[in-house]
Structure 1
């Protein structure tokens, strides 16, 4: 209970202290964002205080919850920091969710306020927008958990899960980033491509950038040329932070200019095939680093210099083990809201559902793909991840998804015109007959989640295929 008698959920962070100390500290003149107009720390603090006052007027109380249904924008950033600075819980809802999905989330989580764009957000390729906001007040009660942030998983292989993380957990991850070799340093820039609603953009981009004094630079549009223009817009070293989908955008630039500021690209989400990584590094002459993580944990392991590909080094403070071929992460408490599912978390260990091994000598982790990618064909075990990886080595294949729907089916996205019969002939030289797809389907664009991950739902893929 606070001095004014407000009841606070035990464990919920109260007041401004952790936000001010970890995210907003520093010289007032430090530039936090280049949009392209600079936003310095002094201006950011003022905007956050203004949002905090508006949220309080709309009914947000310490220990309460606010749902943010906003696109990447200064409105999203300032409202998020204002909620936390108020001692509240931020429920992050991707602005691209349907009204039905948003309604279900609000009915379950019962926020005191919901912040949305005042008008529909124009569709297009913009990565950062300007929006006016509307704040709707609800008769919500204090947050039912002590989590500072509540997120929905991306749902690339099934329904979304509701995941909560405490302020202490978020701060631990921010500090974990500072101990990883190869992350951007004070005075450098991050070209920010992933959405800040999801963990890579939220912690690896926004929160780490604010803490470390790194300027965040969203490109004007989500195109290869615009990304390169963002790199060229300043003289400080720049790291491009994105997901494998964004590699394709950069690869679409035929003759990229010489950019001495371009330090590296770091991708999260799915592992990047070796052939794609090699082509990228040859084209841009910078390392392509990889990060492995989950919404439930944040960053788990990295290889920011591309030295160990496809292996990764566990991040500082992260304990990984392999049990019966499945990677598990030590996690003292379940990250899921509601009843704990022992198939996802039990006895202090989070089950990733990823197949992998941990080298007992080096500690390096090899990720072998999803456990649900193991299928039986004629009594013989086939790892669909292996099939997918092999297809990805073929010339012209930009992305591939391999599923089992009674038979092995491959869905391909190409970056050059290729004959299916020729692709199948090349696969016949690389894969045993029982591993080869019975059907190969070529799509102009493979379906992806809002975070850029390839969708593996058979029904969605069938609908997308010609």
Structure 2
């Protein structure tokens, strides 16, 4: 294989404060979409089982939805929350929000009542676009409580845009519009053919809010701007190498920053159609891979592990893919080797956070990420175009190359800050430089390695879990006196959540009861997989629980 230094001569002269610059084509994500629609016309934009939408249909439906939103009083700067799985309506709602002058709020479809309520109230969303099933199970209770600013609820079915309802995903489902909502498809049809006033955005206008636990454990809405979106979509196209002649396999959740940019954003920029399969299920995903033969994807390494171990998996299944990238969770070198043996192709690394609107480092296409012989860590790549990555000490000064410090990033992908939280913004993003909270080092050639985490954040299959949030739920159980949560190694998820509790005098609960208590109140990746009962939790002299001792 040609070395990375032959393909990318600038790598040989990398330093901790240098990165190659490229011209950024767009400052406005809506202008980016308009350009693709104009060039692609009736070509496929979204593929969903046996259906989907062309670029012209995506344009028409998003315009009709924008007209409907405006008729209901939606105005410039208003927020629309999208509470959906990986369905075409997600992209239609995103583009329609921009056409109506608004900001999309990306909500995890695994969120339960407490989590959904927080995001709706914190963002001040006026519109909720929601799956019918999620409305019945969660949304009605939250919006009906009167705690939010939501005035319009648009529900939609997983069965839209397809005629072949896969029993593995949609068994027993029927389309049935809840009586207290407006059907999304009906609203679009009612405004079909209407026009809306043209909207333009600047580089620092907010395109969407993506919620992250950040550095304090309190959920925060990262303000991903139109400039952020356009730049990182271009990173996927130009640095990673996603071409418009192929297609993108959408296996990452669209609500997550990886899916928002590595799937939707790069598709909107390059014109490559996006293949969607509702949610990740290994057998369904493999069927879509075999049927649609996509050329690019990015997902958590746990997804690829599941695919390799799925019944019927064959090496040829991956033959259409030109590049496979993994982000969101660390990759063990042994896993990368197993993937290469199983598929015949390497998995490339990418590293970023919600606050960097997806990647700030990536392995150049065709290159092999080195492994650090001392720690065994697999490099997460080199800084992408126009991006400065520095490794800083506790005082904020750069450390020498090869020495360990906090990974910090500066570039066009770094967000403005956190919605409505100026203090948290100043702490994590001083002068719009992201302090990642991850500890690592950089080689003289620019390869970045993550060694450990600075904070107590748990990384379960690429999802961030903050111990305090899980502890707060445990404290809601009537028997729990004290609770502490830590991350422990897990072969499949990388890390998983473990809890320690002590009980109030005279009260008790079983491990299964405590896990069920959390499972009912939290997204699936957050609840603890094991609970240990102790008489007393270790503490400092000031009463602070020592999670470090529990981990040890």
For normalisation by structure 1, the TM-score amounts to 0.71
The change in CA–CA distance for 1:224 and 1:117 in structure 2 (over 3 A counts) is closer
Helix, strand or coil at the partner of 1:276? helix
The change in CA–CA distance for 1:226 and 1:450 in structure 2 (over 3 A counts) is farther
Helix, strand or coil at the partner of 1:204? helix
Name the residue aligned to 1:59.
73
The change in CA–CA distance for 1:461 and 1:40 in structure 2 (over 3 A counts) is same
Name the residue aligned to 2:145.
none
Name the residue aligned to 2:281.
223
- Per the TM alignment, residue 146 of structure 1 is displaced from its structure 2 partner at its CA by 4.3
Name the residue aligned to 2:58.
44
Name the residue aligned to 2:44.
31
**8 Å contact from structure 2 (residues 212, 354) kept in 1:** yes
- Per the TM alignment, residue 193 of structure 1 is displaced from its structure 2 partner at its CA by 1.1
Name the residue aligned to 1:318.
387
Question: What is the distance in 2 between the residues matched to 1:159 and 1:125?
Answer: 36
Question: What is the distance in 1 between the residues matched to 2:84 and 2:260?
Answer: 13
Question: What is the distance in 1 between the residues matched to 2:55 and 2:128?
Answer: 26
Name the residue aligned to 1:366.
449
Name the residue aligned to 2:308.
251
The change in CA–CA distance for 1:33 and 1:450 in structure 2 (over 3 A counts) is farther
Aligned counterpart for 1:178 among listed residues 228, 232, 237:
237
- Per the TM alignment, residue 76 of structure 1 is displaced from its structure 2 partner at its CA by 1.9
RMSD of aligned C-alpha atoms? 3.8
The change in CA–CA distance for 1:240 and 1:108 in structure 2 (over 3 A counts) is closer
The change in CA–CA distance for 1:231 and 1:51 in structure 2 (over 3 A counts) is same
Question: What is the distance in 1 between the residues matched to 2:237 and 2:438?
Answer: 26
How big is each residue's C-alpha offset from its partner over 1:416-447, in whole Å with a ceiling of 9 and x where there is no partner? xxxxxxxxxxxxxxxxxxxxxxxxxxx9xxx9
**Match status 1:242 vs 2:299:** yes
The change in CA–CA distance for 1:79 and 1:302 in structure 2 (over 3 A counts) is same
Aligned counterpart for 1:335 among listed residues 406, 414, 417:
417
Aligned counterpart for 1:280 among listed residues 339, 362, 373:
339
**8 Å contact from structure 2 (residues 45, 52) kept in 1:** yes
- Per the TM alignment, residue 450 of structure 1 is displaced from its structure 2 partner at its CA by 9.7
**8 Å contact from structure 2 (residues 388, 410) kept in 1:** yes
Question: What is the distance in 1 between the residues matched to 2:305 and 2:108?
Answer: 23
**8 Å contact from structure 2 (residues 242, 266) kept in 1:** no
Name the residue aligned to 2:147.
none
Q: Which has the higher contact order (CA 8 A, sep 6+)?
A: 2
The change in CA–CA distance for 1:255 and 1:405 in structure 2 (over 3 A counts) is closer
**Match status 1:73 vs 2:87:** yes
Helix, strand or coil at the partner of 1:335? coil
Question: What is the distance in 1 between the residues matched to 2:42 and 2:93?
Answer: 21
- Per the TM alignment, residue 46 of structure 1 is displaced from its structure 2 partner at its CA by 1.1
- Per the TM alignment, residue 14 of structure 1 is displaced from its structure 2 partner at its CA by 12
**8 Å contact from structure 2 (residues 298, 326) kept in 1:** yes
Question: What is the distance in 2 between the residues matched to 1:21 and 1:130?
Answer: 34
Question: What is the distance in 2 between the residues matched to 1:185 and 1:58?
Answer: 39
Report matched runs for 1:80-99 at 5 Å.
Answer: 80-99=94-113
Aligned counterpart for 1:207 among listed residues 265, 275, 282:
265
Helix, strand or coil at the partner of 1:179? helix
Name the residue aligned to 1:307.
368
**8 Å contact from structure 1 (residues 327, 351) kept in 2:** yes
